[in-house]
Amino acid sequence: MIEIENLHKGFGGEEILKGINYTFDKSKTNLIIGGSGSGKSVLLKCMLGLLTPEKGVIKYDGKPYSEFTEDEKKDLSKQIGMIFQGGALFDSMTVEENVMFPLRMFTHRKKKKENLERVKEVLKRVNLEGSEKKLPSEISGGMQKRVSIARAIVNRPKYLFCDEPNSGLDPKTATVIDNLIQEITHEYDITTIIITHDMNSVLEIGEKIAFLKDGVLAWKGDKSEIFKTDDETVVDFVYSSNLFQKVRDAQRQGL
């Protein structure tokens, strides 16, 4: 669980986050949504320790991050998995080597055989058996995302951060990736936080949703509630596409 209390962050005199209070639950897919400039990425970077807030508290399982010792911060970094927007795979490394990378960074004392067994285990979990020796350029975009997921969970993280994990994928493949992330979240009891602008993801796996607007937590709920809210700022965001306008009209007509 990650708790945010009265979080403020700004740059050059401009306040970006304006007193955010929110709890990201364990074993749930926690989605952060909102338009460009709403503060999603800044909030994520604050939680990852990449930015220091001017005010407020970020707690990991009840302990404020600001009170962590350097050793505790290093320990926390081992417990965090990250799925980047573009995948961020190393082009010159094979699938196996990409997934092995965090193990080499954080568990270098283990024998290579143990690490290879763990890599094989997570690649099997994301349905990529037989792809170990391929380069990222030799596999599809959806497979590359699954490699990213395997790499993110190879160290058995307690926390999983996903930055637009469906970016660049077709709707069918995006749904597969959404469901895989949700399955892994439940299976391994992870606190998963997903930044997304994809309303299909919200509809599929939005167990907890935080909607940011202009640096403020404007709404919170789940996927069933977000399509029923009368909050105008949320409605304008959710129904900005023709597809979801049709969904809204169908709901109103009881179809």
**Is 158 in a helix, a strand, or coil?**
coil
pTM, two decimals, is 0.87
pLDDT one digit per residue (tens) for the chain, 255 residues: 999 999 999 998 899 999 999 999 999 999 999 888 889 999 999 999 899 999 999 999 999 998 999 999 988 988 999 988 877 888 999 999 999 998 887 765 667 788 889 999 999 999 898 899 999 999 998 899 999 999 999 999 999 999 988 888 888 888 988 999 999 999 999 999 999 988 888 888 999 999 999 999 999 999 888 878 888 888 888 776 665 666 666 665 665
Q: Residue 53 corresponds to which amino acid?
A: P
Q: Residue 67 corresponds to which amino acid?
A: E
What is the dihedral angle through the alpha carbons of 177, 179, 180, 183, rounded to the nearest 10 degrees? Answer: 160
Task: Give the span between the Cα atoms of 66 and 51, in whole angstroms.
Answer: 12
Beta strands per DSSP E along 79-222: 80-83, 159-163, 191-195, 208-213, 216-221
Distances (CA, A) of 25 to 133, 193, 227: 37, 9, 21
Task: Give the span between the Cα atoms of 194 and 187, in whole angstroms.
Answer: 17
* pLDDT given at position 84: 86
Q: Which residues are within 8 A (CB) of 246 and not within 5 positions of it... i.e. 6 or more apart?
A: none
* pLDDT given at position 112: 78
* Per-domain boundaries in the chain: 91-156
